[in-house]
Amino acid sequence: MIYGIGTDIADCARVAGIYEKHGYHFVKNILTKKELELLDAQTGKAEFIAGRWAAKEAFSKALKTGMCADCAFVEIEILPGPRNVPQVTLHAATAETVRRLGITGIHVSISHERAYAIGMAVLECADEK
C-alpha cells in the first residue's frame, strides 16, 4: 500500500548560482560521498545537483516529515542502478525513521527539462498508516 507520494522541482539556474558562489560548502550538505564522486564526473553539475535536491525533497515529502532531524539530505543516497534507474540507500536517522514507520518500498524518479529538474518519490508500506 502507498504510504506517501512526494514531488519537487528545482530551478537549475538557481542551483548553479548557489554552487558557483559556495562550491563544495553547498554540495557537502546535500550529497553523500558517493554522490560527490558522481558529481565530479558530470559535465552538467548544476543539473545533477538540482536533480538530487528535487528527488531528496520529494522523498522527505513522501515520508511526511520534510527535511528535519529524522530525514536529512546527506542521509539519503541516490545512485544509478540497473538501466540507470535511481536506487535509494538510506543512512543514520533517516534509515531508522523509515524502519520505524514500516516503509517497505522506495521508488524515486528524476527528470530534467531545460532549466528545471523534477524529483518524484513513492513510498510503500505493508499496512495502512
pLDDT tens digits, 11-28: 999 999 999 999 999 999
Q: Is 61 one of the annotated active-site residues of the chain?
A: yes
Mean pLDDT of 22-35: 97
* Residue keyed to cell 552538467: 44
pLDDT tier, 73 (very low <50, low <70, confident <90, very high otherwise): very high
pLDDT of residue 120: 99
pLDDT of residue 128: 63
Q: Is 34 one of the annotated active-site residues of the chain?
A: no
Mean pLDDT of 67-78: 92
pLDDT of residue 69: 82
Instruction: Give the range among 8-17, 31-40, 69-78 with minimum mean pLDDT.
Output: 69-78
Mean residue pLDDT of the chain comes to 95
CATH number of the CATH domain containing 98: 3.90.470.20
Catalytic residue among 21, 28, 112, 129: 112
Closest by alpha carbon to 103, among 68, 69, 76, 74?
A: 76
Catalytic residue among 34, 56, 61, 107: 61
Work out how many domains the chain is built from and give that number.
1
- Could you tell me the three cell numbers for 86? 535511481
102 is in which domain, residue-wise?
2-125
Mean pLDDT of 52-75: 93
Mean pLDDT of 100-128: 95
Beta strands in 1-75 (DSSP E): 2-11
* Residue keyed to cell 554552487: 19
pLDDT of residue 129: 53
